[in-house]
Amino acid sequence: MGGSFIFLSGPSGVGKGPLMKAVKREITKQKLNINLKGITLYSCRAMRAGEKEGDPYHFMTREQIESFKNQDNFIVFPVRKDLQAIDLNDIKKITSEPDAVGFLETFHTAVNELSGSSYLKGVDIRTVFMSPLSSDDIYSMKFPKEVEKAFYDLIREKVINRFYRKNGALSLVSLRDAETRASTAFKEMCSACGYHYIIVNHDGEDSPNWGVNRAFGDAGRAVKSMLQILQGVEKPDYVVQWRHELFR
């Protein structure tokens, strides 16, 4: 029996990083039989200080990544101003291994491209979206424009707080980056309606609820949900699904 592959998406600052850090902590602490494996994406963005080829990306030019569109085993997708690609053979390789669980945190446009590809037919793919708001939160807003602005303001604040926490100051470049990330939040949230599982997490990445030894609150529930998804539980606790009408 082959393994499965999990894609995780969600707006910036929602807590995807702390979630997976806590999940890996629990796998080790509980000695769970979860053989988690990742893949390396291709990206056209410039290499940053401390990075190298293959970590965190295979770095290529935009033209090189564009050329992958002619190959059935690649999906190519925009990530805000950049272009990224996934070699679907990397996913097939992992899922051919008994009991392996593939994992990738990626932008929502990658999941959109996956849905239109037949290359992974028969492969167990599951998509997870982490949301900073619940459907009740969204329903409480009266108009689509109000919802869109709320997402923009929320994610902008989360990303700015992250810059302050890491750097102690906010540069103009960092502010523009926060605004760019916030500008895609509404589209990201709308895409959640097509995912297998939605994990609602009001805590965010800077919440103390992630803890040192154990997560609590929404963070704790998110960890339990993700562990069950990785274990192949058919109906994980606390996850939801959204109808497309939610944003109309």
pLDDT tens per residue, range 81-139: 999 999 999 999 999 998 899 999 999 999 999 988 899 999 999 999 999 999 999 99
3-state secondary structure 91-159: HHHHHCCCCEEEEEECCHHHHHHHHCCCCCCCCEEEEEEEECCCHHHHHCCCCHHHHHHHHHHHHHHHH
Number of domains composing the chain: 1
Mean pLDDT of all residues in 134-153: 88
What CATH number did the domain enclosing 120 receive? 3.40.50
Are residues 213 and 204 in contact, defined by beta-carbon separation less than 8 angstroms? no
29-73 per-position pLDDT tens digit: 999 999 999 999 999 999 999 999 999 999 999 999 999 999 999
How far is residue 234's CA from residue 220's CA, in Å, rounded to a whole number? 20
Q: Model pTM?
A: 0.95
* Residue 232 in tokens: 């192949």
Residue ranges making up the domain that contains 79: 4-247
Question: What pLDDT, on a 0 to 100 scale, did the predictor assign at position 189?
Answer: 96
Quote the CA–CA distance of 3 and 153 in Å, as a whole number.
39
Query: 143 and 46 in contact (C-beta within 8 Å)?
Result: no
Tokens of 237: 């606790």
> Going edge to edge, which strands form the sheet with 41-43?
57-59, 41-43, 82-87, 74-79
- The whole-number pLDDT of residue 85 equals 98
**The pLDDT of residue 1 is above 60:** no
Residue 2 has pLDDT above 80, yes or no: no
